[in-house]
Amino acid sequence: MKLSAKAEYACLAMIELAKRAPNDSPARIHEIAEFHKIPERYLVQILLQLKGAGLVSSVRGSMGGYLLAKPAEGIALADILTAIDGPEAILRDREGPSARALATVWARLREAEQAVLTGTSIANLAFEDATRDWTI
């Protein structure tokens, strides 16, 4: 699995939004960008894509920013990756027994990958990040 920087930034931004309490004000782009060291202009484009996919909503005005468009429990990593990078490419069909054997391995790998991505919500990740004891 290849993960683009854009997809990783999108996941970080979504986890940041998931950590906010329901009554918190919307997250400002500047705050997320500064905390995660993401270029602001790039983050704006990412958030617009996520908004287009129905994963975030924006609030205008001086107290505006971004919020999750639905509960964090209902947003899987797979949703974010699909919104940013599009659906996975389909593997080519190859002829011959070796190619079919290899294709079987690739298919199992993709199934396992999809199971992890669809089974991991940003709520899980936000909770894990918030409860981690970072003593060294």
For the chain, the structural domain boundaries read 5-131
Q: At what angle do helices 40-52 and 5-18 cross, to 10 degrees?
A: 70
The DSSP code sequence of 73-98 is: GG-BHHHHHHHHH-SPPPPPP--SHH
Mutual angle of helices 40-52 and 77-85, in 10-degree steps: 110
Q: What is the mean pLDDT of residues 106-114?
A: 90
Token pair of 49 as six digits:
């894509």
Confirm if 13 and 46 have CB atoms less than 8 A apart.
yes
Question: Does the domain at residues 5-131 carry the CATH identifier 3.40.50.10470?
Answer: no
Task: Report pTM.
Answer: 0.83
Return the pLDDT at 133.
55
Across 88-108, average pLDDT: 79
Least confident of 39-48, 80-89, 92-101: 92-101
List the one residue out of 65, 71, 76, 82 whose CA is nearest residue 121. 76
